[in-house]
Amino acid sequence: VARMFGPTIIVANRPSWSGAGLPADAPSGPEALEKAGLDWEVGMTPAYADIDGQKIDTGKMATYRKDTGKVLGVVGSEFQVLQNVEAMEAISDVFAEHNIKYETAGSFNDGQQIWMLARHPEPTSVAGDEVNRYVLVFNAHNGSRSARLLPTGVRVVCQNTLRMALSATDDIRIRHTKNMRERLAEAQRALARADSIFMTWQSTAERLARIQPPDERVVRVVNNVLDFALGELVDAAADGD
């Protein structure tokens, strides 16, 4: 987990399951960026290929961190950068209105992908179990994904939990194109309706919780999961991981 992180991650309220991250007491947006090492900007420059000693223009652009010069990715010439501070400012008003506090924030691969997670003050409940409600802000500076804003029940503290949260379909996607900032304004309005999305999720989860599958089906599912996990471990051992 740790080697995938950027300079650091921050966690509020309780540690991450892996123990990674610096403790932070529900920081504000600017504090979250600073403490998570996300207070830097992204620049763009033409990408060239060195072919037999000749510098050839590829027609692509390279994104890079202005503070370190680290190249983050190669993107198309129409790519528009969504700065970390822009992503934070876009949702700050909505967060303040609903008293939503930042919970975790961090980056992967030196800033190629970044996320900020905030927690709603009022959890929901499914079959008597309390479930926290979060809002995830995700952005990819390497061109691999659109920026995304989504309500989730997953507390993101590592790449696996980020992948789990991003598997949801009830999200707002913002492509890095010239109309990106108009879509960002739409996202602000849509976030205000996050409560209705959580209510729909809660209703579905309650229905699933009431389903009692036969014992033999439970055993079959568990065996399939264990067989898959064992196969993954064997493959990893064979690869020397």
The pLDDT tens digits for 129-154 are 888 888 899 999 999 999 998 888 88
pLDDT on residue 1: 37
- Give the predicted TM-score (pTM) of the model: 0.76
Q: Which of 51-60, 114-123, 227-236 has the lowest mean pLDDT?
A: 227-236
pLDDT in tens, 13-59: 554 444 454 555 556 778 888 888 899 999 999 999 999 989 999 99
Measured over the CA atoms of residue 227, residue 168, residue 25 and residue 113, the dihedral's sign is positive
**Rounded Cα distance, 201 and 1, in Å:** 29
Element (H, E) at 72: strand 71-75
Query: Lowest-pLDDT range, 22-31, 66-75, 79-88?
Result: 22-31
Among residues 156, 134, 163, 129, the alpha carbon closest in space to that of 36 is found at 156
Q: What does the pLDDT look like over 159-193, one tens digit per residue?
A: 888 999 998 877 788 889 888 878 777 776 766 66
Average pLDDT (205-226) is: 83
Neighbours of 56 (CB within 10 A): 11
Question: Can you say whether residue 30 is alpha, beta or left, with left for phi > 0 and alpha for psi between -120 and 50 degrees?
Answer: alpha
Q: Confidence class of residue 71 from pLDDT cuts 50, 70 and 90? A: very high
Task: Find the mean pLDDT for residues 100-114.
Answer: 88
pLDDT at 110 over 70: yes
